Amino acid sequence: MRRVAFLVVGRVQGVGYRRFAQRSAEAVGVAGFVRNATGGSVVGEAEGEDDAVEAFLVALRRGPALATVLSVETTSLEATGAVGFAIR
């Protein structure tokens, strides 16, 4: 299991990015959460099998059609056994 905190920078608020992240996480079986942060970025945490988390991060870098993702930064965390993926 792998857990990461992520920070997505770019035009990612007001473009459906959090819902996109939730759908992407659910599609690959990743648990965690996503929320808007100050300064127009989006932050969250994702946990799952290594391949699933990597596929989720690839989706975050792509983003929905109206988003412009400039960067996705990650920090490794200890897995907690989280279940489900929430928009906060």
Give pLDDT tens digits for 25-50: 999 999 999 999 999 999 999 999 99
pLDDT classification of 60: cutoffs 50, 70, 90 = very high
Class of domain 2-77: alpha beta
**Residue 7: strand pairing partners:** 43, 73
Nearest to 1 by CA among 57, 61, 52: 52
| Residue 44 near residue 34, CB atoms below 8 Å | yes
pLDDT classification of 75: cutoffs 50, 70, 90 = very high
pLDDT at 33: 98
The domain locations on the chain are 2-77
Helix (H, G, I), strand (E, B) or coil at 14: coil
pLDDT classification of 9: cutoffs 50, 70, 90 = very high
| Catalytic residue set | 18, 36
